[in-house]
């Protein structure tokens, strides 16, 4: 099989080394689910951090099938109906949470085959393949991750001008995805993600657009000029799709929060920590909210929304 320019970039990025403690933690999580484990992906803000102590590391565990991974029908059914399930994990002095997806679900959710942004928005950003069971699993993960950036840019196309700076293209695209989830992020979060490694996004622009089926020229100044001017009707259809994404995305976030109250021990404390870290708030969790974490988490939302801590 001929490797595309985008797949080559993704493969090289996934293969970049991570902190050895991260790799050990990933392997320990994989061992927790035995032979069902295929690959561990490390992603998110901790990937950009120099100091990991005191942070919550983010992983995706890719498995062959849910029933084998759990040995329990209930958890497998929950993961299949409302993917992913999310679990906490601690080892080697590090704290982490990991989301579990089957290889089939990961490939679908990292692509344009779904309106939901949760997976393709995250893996259009840098990630590391920190543990893998087989060469076949590695190839499958590379192919799946290579679908994320084209999905992001194709979805964003109706919402951006026909000519704009390449970094602005990525920033606007990520900003759209942040608006399609309940996120505890400051307003400039999308731009800061791109600004952390602008050269990476410049390298990815042309091959990601080509993989998305978008014909464009990129000049020496990094300005993207799309070959086809979109009509008013196409832009209006794009706006309708994004309105639907926002409604569905926020509803899915609440549904996953409800599910996590049953699977993620200490989830409400993690939620408060994440909001405080990203939104600059000072939320304190009361004992009754720990006793009934779902009700407690939902009770926070109106106040957080008014303060702009979640959007």
pLDDT given for residue 254 in this prediction: 74
pLDDT given for residue 275 in this prediction: 59
Which of the listed residues 104, 125, 147 is the one where a domain comes to its end?
147
Q: Is position 253 within any domain?
A: no
Q: Is position 305 within any domain?
A: yes
* Across 282-311, average pLDDT: 62
84 and 211 inside one domain: no
CA distance 189 to 203: 21
Which of the listed residues 199, 222, 239 is the one where a domain comes to its end?
239
Q: Is position 180 within any domain?
A: yes
Percent of the chain with pLDDT over 90: 69
The CATH number linked to 11 is 3.30.460.10
Give, as one character, the DSSP assignment of residue 36.
G
pLDDT given for residue 79 in this prediction: 93
If one counts the domains in the chain, the total is: 3
The overall average pLDDT reported for the chain is 88
Range of the domain at 298: 266-311
Which of the listed residues 94, 117, 147 is the one where a domain comes to its end?
147
Q: CB neighbours (10 Å) of residue 275?
A: 21
15 and 140 inside one domain: yes
CA distance 123 to 179: 17
Phi (first) and psi of residue 260, to 5 degrees = -65, -25
pLDDT given for residue 19 in this prediction: 93
10 and 143 inside one domain: yes
**Least confident interval from 150-159, 193-202, 243-252, 257-266:** 257-266
21 and 109 inside one domain: yes
pLDDT given for residue 300 in this prediction: 64
Higher pLDDT, 255 or 117: 117
Higher pLDDT, 119 or 3: 119
pLDDT tens digits, 132-189: 999 999 999 999 999 999 999 999 999 999 999 999 999 999 999 999 987 655 557 8
CA distance 191 to 4: 28
Percent of the chain with pLDDT over 70: 82
Which residue's structure tokens are 């561990």?
40
pLDDT tens digits, 11-69: 999 999 999 999 999 999 999 999 999 999 999 989 988 889 988 899 999 999 999 99
Q: What angle do CA 151, 256, 285 make, to 5 degrees?
A: 125
* Across 288-309, average pLDDT: 61
Please give the model's pTM, rounded to 2 decimal places. Answer: 0.86
291 and 235 inside one domain: no
pLDDT given for residue 192 in this prediction: 92
Q: Is position 258 within any domain?
A: no
159 and 62 inside one domain: no
Q: In 3-state terms, the chain is what percent helix, strand and coil (to 5)?
A: 60, 15, 25
Q: Is position 251 within any domain?
A: no
Q: In sequence order, what E strands does the chain have?
A: 37-43, 56-63, 85-91, 94-102, 127-132, 163-165, 216-218, 223-226
160 and 141 inside one domain: no
* Across 239-263, average pLDDT: 83
Q: Is position 221 within any domain?
A: yes
pLDDT given for residue 193 in this prediction: 94
pLDDT tens digits, 62-97: 999 999 999 989 999 999 999 999 988 999 899 999
Question: For the packed helices 198-211 and 166-178, what is the interaxial angle rounded to 10 degrees?
Answer: 80
pLDDT given for residue 216 in this prediction: 98
19 and 143 inside one domain: yes
pLDDT given for residue 8 in this prediction: 98
Q: Is position 98 within any domain?
A: yes
133 and 214 inside one domain: no
Give, as one character, the DSSP assignment of residue 251.
H
117 and 205 inside one domain: no
Q: Is position 202 within any domain?
A: yes
Question: Which pLDDT band holds residue 207 (cuts at 50, 70, 90)?
Answer: very high
10 and 128 inside one domain: yes
309 and 199 inside one domain: no
DSSP codes of every residue in 135-170: HHHHHHHHHHHTTHHHHHHHHHGGGS-SEEEHHHHH
């Amino acid at each position: 099989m001929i490797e595309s320019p985008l797949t080559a970039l993704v493969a090289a990025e996934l293969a970049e080394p991570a902190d050895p403690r991260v790799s050990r933690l990933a392997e320990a999580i994989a061992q927790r689910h035995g032979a069902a484990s295929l690959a561990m992906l490390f992603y998110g803000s901790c990937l950009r951090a120099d100091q990991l102590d005191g942070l919550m590391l983010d992983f995706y565990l890719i498995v062959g099938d849910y029933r084998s991974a759990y040995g329990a029908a209930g958890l497998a059914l929950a993961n299949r109906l409302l993917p992913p399930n999310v679990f906490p994990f601690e080892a080697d002095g590090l704290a982490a949470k990991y989301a579990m997806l089957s290889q089939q679900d990961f490939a679908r959710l990292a692509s344009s085959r779904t309106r939901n942004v949760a997976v393709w928005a995250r893996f259009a950003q840098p990630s590391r393949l920190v543990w893998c069971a087989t060469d076949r699993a590695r190839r499958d993960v590379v192919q799946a991750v290579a679908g994320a950036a084209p999905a992001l840019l194709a979805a964003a196309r109706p919402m951006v001008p026909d000519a704009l700076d390449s970094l602005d293209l990525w920033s606007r695209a990520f900003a759209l995805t942040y608006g399609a989830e309940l996120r505890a992020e400051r307003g400039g979060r999308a731009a800061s993600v791109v600004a952390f490694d602008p050269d990476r996004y410049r390298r990815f622009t042309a091959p990601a657009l080509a993989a998305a089926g978008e014909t464009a020229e990129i000049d020496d100044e990094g300005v993207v000029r799309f070959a086809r001017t979109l009509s008013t009707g196409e832009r209006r259809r794009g706006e309708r799709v994004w309105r639907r994404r926002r409604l569905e995305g926020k509803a899915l976030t609440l549904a996953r929060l409800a599910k996590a109250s049953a699977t993620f021990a200490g989830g409400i404390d993690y939620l408060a920590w994440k909001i405080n870290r990203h939104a600059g708030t000072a939320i304190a969790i009361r004992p009754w909210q720990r006793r009934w974490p779902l009700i407690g988490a939902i009770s926070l939302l109106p106040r957080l929304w008014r303060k702009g801590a979640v959007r």
